[in-house]
Amino acid sequence: MTLFPVFLDLSGKRGLVVGAGHVGLRRARGLLEAGARVTVVSPQAHPEVRALDLELVERAFVPSDLEGVALAFACTNDEDVNDAVLREAEARGLWASSASRPERASMRLGATLRSGDLLVAIQTGADLPYLSQALRDKLSAALPSDLPIAAWSERRAQALTLPEPARSDVLASLKDEIRKAVGA
C-alpha cells in the first residue's frame, strides 16, 4: 500500500478515541495538542486520561459515538471492538485508525516530532512502529531546539514579493541559512 502524507487542521473539530489505555492516552494527547475537541469512550480509563481536558464517556463503544466526529481512533485491546469502530467509520466516510489492525484502517499515524512550528511525521508502515519512533528520536537529537521557523517564513514571504533577480538571491540565501542551521 502506498500512503499519501497529509497534515490535518483539527482545530475545533471533534476527535473520538475508543479505549483509554496507554495508546488511547497518546492519541487523545495528540488530538488535544492539535486543538481538537476530544471524546474518549471506554468502560475504564487510564488515570492520566481523566486528568486531560476532554469528554470521558465511561461505557462501551456504540456506533452513534461517531456522529459529528472528524476522525476516530480505535485503541482498545479488543480486536472486535476496534474492527467495529473501523467498519462504522468507513460506513460514514470518516478517517479512522486501529491500534490492533493498522493495515485495515483508512489512516495511519506514525511517530511525530514537534518543536515549535516544526512538525515532522515519520511512518514506516503498520509492521514497524518502533522504527518510526527510533527515527524520530534520532532526528530529534540532531535538530537544534530553537529553529526560527516563523522568522524564516516571514523572510520567505517578503522575498516572494521582490522582483527578479533579488527574489532568487534572497531565497538562495535563506535556503543556505536553513541548511546550515539544521546541519544539512
Per-residue pLDDT tens over the stretch 59-99: 999 999 999 999 999 999 999 999 999 999 999 999 999 88
pLDDT of residue 44: 92
E-strand spans in the chain? 14-18, 37-41, 55-57, 71-74, 95-98, 111-115, 118-122
Instruction: Provide the β-strand partners of residue 12.
Output: none
Q: CATH code for 14-109?
A: 3.40.50.720
pLDDT tens sequence across 2-19: 777 788 889 999 999 999
- Exposed / middle / buried, residue 18 (Cβ in 10 Å: 0-12, 13-18, 19+): buried
What is the pTM assigned to this prediction? 0.76
Q: Write down the domain spans for the chain.
A: 14-109, 149-182
